[in-house]
Amino acid sequence: LRTVTGVQTCALPIYSGFQTWYRNRCIDLWNTTFSCDTMLYKLDSVVAVLTPEMPRHATRWAGNLTDWQNNVQTLRTFITNRCNYLSTGLQSCYSLSGPYNVVLNVDPPGSGSIDLNSLHFAPNQLPWYGTYFGNITTSLSATPEPNYAFQNWTSFSQIDRKSTRLNSSHRT
């Protein structure tokens, strides 16, 4: 069994709708909230706030700055390793292919929004770049802004519907 976000995901209930939702939500979070860039940015933000206080803290509590710096590096290494592990864990646990790079965009800029699984991208959030997998159904839909009409998707698979569910043969 592999664990993703601390849950033994290969042993989750058989209900396919839940399995698909859970896998896609993990991948969505891996691309946003729990991405390496986001997690390292949050760590760096906390370190920037705490670093000026650390000399006084070390003096008061008989610590030292070297321990602090080593602990920060341990956290940084954990985050980096975890990001790599999530990708590998998702692939091996669920027999996913990829990962594949994804670019979501609208043309002309500002002409619509895009929903990808549980994620919503407003016109001002596009283009968006992420990484997704094959061998899993992925929900993708476009909503045009007023005075615009959706025409088609442009992708490796030449998707041409307004809303689609992508399967393993689509490399998005």
Q: How confident is the model at residue 2 (pLDDT cuts 50, 70, 90)?
A: very low
Residue 135 has pLDDT above 60, yes or no: yes
Q: What is the pLDDT of residue 160?
A: 41
The whole-number pLDDT of residue 4 equals 47
pLDDT at 166 over 90: no
pLDDT at position 75: 96
Return the HEC string of the chain: CCEECCEEHHHCCCCHHHHHHHHHHHHHHHHCCCCHHHHHHHHHHHHHHHHHHHHHHHHHCCCCHHHHHHHHHHHHHHHHHHHHHHHHHHHHHHCCEEEEEEEECCCCCCCEEEEECCEEECHHHCCEEEEEEECCCEEEEEEECCCCCCCCCCCCCCCCCCEEEECCCCCC
Position 8 confidence tier, pLDDT thresholds 50, 70, 90: very low
Q: How far, in Å, CA of 70 to CA of 108, rounded?
A: 48
Residues in Cβ contact with 40 at an 8 Å cutoff, skipping those fewer than 6 apart: 76, 79, 80
Q: Check pLDDT > 90 for residue 29.
A: yes
Is the predicted pLDDT of residue 18 greater than 50, yes or no?
A: yes
Q: Alpha-carbon distance 127 to 109, whole Å?
A: 9
pLDDT digits (tens, 9 = 90+) for 44-79: 999 999 999 999 998 999 888 999 999 999 999 999
Q: What is the pTM of this model?
A: 0.73
Q: What percent of the chain has pLDDT over 90?
A: 49
Yes or no: say if 65 and 109 are a contact pair by the CB < 8 Å rule: no
